[in-house]
């Protein structure tokens, strides 16, 4: 067990870079910390956009008050538009807290409000006999800028047959010396307000098998994993017709070179162990699976996706937790449906992934692409530890629900198996706003995205929907790649559309295998 000052052995410095809410109380043995303080972590968070006719959910978190007991007096929430106060509410608590975790989600009615707004949250509390106040959070070394969100007049673009999901998200089941996420129930409330139909709780395999309250001790009974699955079922069953959770995990496994990489395992019925880069034992890089052997353990109704396969690996992780990258030989394995091409930003990993995906298609590999954000909490701003004990930093990337996988289903079928089947078949797309669908027909059945068609000619129908929130459709390009060829070619381009909705047919002829 870790003592109340969170001192640890030196090997903890080799922990992977973290992406969750920052845990402030951990310190290395015999060292200080620039952000350690004798207070629980206190913070507020909210989603980056709000669907029409939805309340604004504001998540309040107080963590580790069992170490530093606190009396939460009240929370004041003020909404600004164009630097003017348009709404103010005070929530009285007068609650003494002496527990590991406390959270509350308060709902604000945005009636009469639209567009960009700012929200300020002030906590009034007493700790150590002193009355204190913090704005947004009590993290040292970070800004206390107001939270920002967009109240939309328009639903997220949809033809009525698409489910939008964030396939890579970490909840508070991921919790260790330096990080923690948000609860599943609170995240579901955020998803509802965002217009996000589902999310996958891809918590790390090396966290899901921990003894509750421990960060290094493995639990053979898998209490943490089992309880999470019960909670997911309860939340899904209690929320019919609304947003839902696909039970998942982010599995640590080996690539062809024996280095640790991550796979998103969605909707698998049993726990898959993997701790090679969890730093729970110093210099133990063992993995239970690699990209070849994991196939035999997967359910028919599960889905395996390469997680952020082309994002750069920090040098410290390369050496000290043997982190690596997905290689082409790993991706082309039959059990890997495709690659998570977007990981919360249009960055180096995205553009490298796009390039390699095109190469795979030209080589004849039928692999698909998906989008997630790898958010660990982080609904409004990314605020994390940069250098342990020394610095924190912030950025507006890897935010929950910003980039999405749009999944085509019949009649907006809100069933986990339906979403998994469509993603497995490639009947999906990646987006940060606009909707798209592509079908093919030749005087017969309509073929969906991801289908293999054995015909020489036909009609491709492209459907695109946007809204004023995301901007007009200005240009579309139809690209063709010949299997075995060296590069793709543009076969149709439409410029200067300036429309919010488009349905267009294109006649296609080909005497070679292509996409």
Q: What is the pLDDT of residues 439-473, one digit of tens each?
A: 999 988 999 999 999 999 999 999 999 999 999 99
What integer pLDDT is reported at residue 377 of this predicted model? Answer: 85
Architecture of domain 40-155: Sandwich (2.60)
Q: Tens digits of per-residue pLDDT, 470-482?
A: 999 999 999 999 9
| Strand pairing category for 368-372 and 338-343 | parallel
Tell me what percent of the residues of the chain surpass a pLDDT of 90: 79
What is the rounded distance in angstroms from the CA atom of residue 149 to the CA atom of residue 56? 9
Give the burial class of 261: count Cβ atoms within 10 A of its Cβ; 0-12 exposed, 13-18 middle, 19 or more buried.
buried
Over the chain, what is the mean pLDDT? 90
Residue 485's pLDDT band, with cuts at 50, 70 and 90, is very high
pLDDT at 22 over 60: no
Q: Tens digits of per-residue pLDDT, 71-98?
A: 999 999 999 999 999 999 999 999 999 9
What integer pLDDT is reported at residue 386 of this predicted model? Answer: 58
How many CB atoms are closer than 10 A to CB 226? 13
pLDDT at 347 over 90: yes
Residues 6+ positions from 154 with CB-CB distance below 8 Å? 52, 467, 468, 469
Ranking 24-28, 67-71, 218-222, 315-319 by mean pLDDT, the lowest is: 24-28
Q: Tens digits of per-residue pLDDT, 237-267?
A: 998 889 999 999 999 999 999 999 999 999 9
Average pLDDT over residues 193-216: 93
Helix, strand, coil percentages for the chain (3-state, nearest 5): 15, 40, 45
What integer pLDDT is reported at residue 177 of this predicted model? Answer: 64
Q: Are 78 and 124 in contact (CB under 8 A)?
A: no
pLDDT at 23 over 60: no
- The token pair that represents 36 in the structure block: 């350690």
What integer pLDDT is reported at residue 295 of this predicted model? Answer: 93
What fold characterizes domain 162-432?
A: TIM Barrel (3.20.20)
- End-to-end CA distance of the chain: give it in Å, rounded: 56
Residue 395's pLDDT band, with cuts at 50, 70 and 90, is confident
Average pLDDT over residues 422-428: 98
Average pLDDT over residues 11-31: 45
In order of 8, 39, 350, the CA distances from 5 in angstroms are 9, 12, 40
pLDDT at 178 over 90: no
Residue 29's pLDDT band, with cuts at 50, 70 and 90, is low
Residue bearing tokens 């977007």:
342
Average pLDDT over residues 228-236: 98
What is the rounded distance in angstroms from the CA atom of residue 312 to the CA atom of residue 310? 6
- Chain centre to alpha carbon of residue 431: 14
What integer pLDDT is reported at residue 389 of this predicted model? Answer: 55
The continuous run of DSSP H or E covering 354 comes out as helix 348-362
């Amino acid at each position: 067990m870790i003592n109340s000052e969170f001192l640890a052995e030196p090997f903890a410095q080799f922990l992977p870079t973290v992406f969750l809410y920052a845990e402030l109380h951990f310190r290395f043995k015999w060292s200080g910390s620039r952000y350690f303080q004798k207070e629980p972590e206190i913070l507020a968070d909210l989603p980056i956009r709000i669907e029409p006719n939805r309340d604004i959910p504001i998540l309040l978190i107080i963590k580790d008050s069992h170490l530093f007991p606190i009396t939460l007096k009240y929370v004041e929430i003020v909404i600004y538009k164009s630097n003017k106060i348009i709404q103010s509410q005070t929530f009285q608590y007068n609650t003494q807290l002496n527990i590991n975790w406390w959270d509350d989600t308060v709902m604000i009615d945005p009636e009469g409000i639209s567009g960009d707004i700012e929200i300020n949250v002030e906590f009034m509390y007493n700790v150590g006999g002193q009355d204190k106040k913090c704005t947004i959070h009590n993290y040292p070394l970070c800004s206390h800028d107001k939270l920002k969100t967009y109240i939309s007049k328009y639903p997220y673009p949809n033809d009525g047959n698409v489910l939008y999901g964030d396939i890579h998200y970490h909840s508070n089941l991921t919790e260790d010396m330096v990080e923690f996420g948000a609860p599943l129930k609170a995240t579901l409330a955020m998803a509802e307000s965002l217009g996000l139909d589902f999310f996958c709780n891809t918590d790390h395999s090396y966290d899901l098998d921990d003894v509750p309250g421990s960060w290094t001790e493995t639990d053979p009974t898998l209490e943490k994993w089992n309880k999470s699955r019960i909670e997911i079922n309860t939340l899904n069953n209690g929320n019919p017709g609304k947003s839902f959770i696909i039970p998942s995990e982010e599995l640590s496994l080996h690539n062809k070179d024996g280095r640790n990489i991550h796979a998103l395992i969605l909707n698998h019925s049993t726990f898959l162990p993997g701790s090679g880069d969890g730093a729970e034992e110093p210099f133990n890089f063992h993995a239970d699976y690699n990209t070849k052997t994991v196939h035999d353990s997967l359910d028919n109704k599960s889905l395996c996706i390469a997680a952020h396969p082309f994002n750069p690996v920090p040098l410290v992780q390369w050496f000290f937790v043997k982190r690596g990258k997905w290689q082409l030989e790993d991706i082309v394995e039959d059990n890997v449906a495709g690659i998570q091409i977007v990981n919360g930003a249009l960055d180096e990993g995205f553009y490298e992934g796009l390039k390699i995906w095109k190469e795979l298609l030209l080589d004849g590999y039928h692999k698909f692409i998906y989008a997630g954000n790898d958010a660990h909490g982080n609904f409004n701003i990314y605020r994390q530890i940069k250098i342990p004990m020394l610095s924190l930093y912030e950025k507006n990337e890897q935010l929950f629900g910003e980039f999405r996988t749009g999944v085509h289903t019949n009649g907006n079928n809100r069933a986990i198996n339906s979403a998994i089947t469509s993603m497995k078949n490639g009947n999906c797309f990646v987006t940060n706003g606009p909707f798209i669908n592509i079908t093919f027909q030749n005087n017969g059945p309509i073929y969906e995205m991801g289908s293999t068609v054995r015909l020489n000619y036909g009609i491709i129908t492209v459907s695109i929907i946007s809204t004023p929130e995301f901007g007009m459709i200005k240009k579309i390009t139809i690209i063709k790649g010949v299997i075995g060829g060296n590069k793709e070619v543009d076969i149709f381009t439409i410029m200067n559309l300036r429309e919010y909705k488009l349905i267009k047919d294109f006649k296609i002829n080909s005497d070679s295998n292509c996409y």
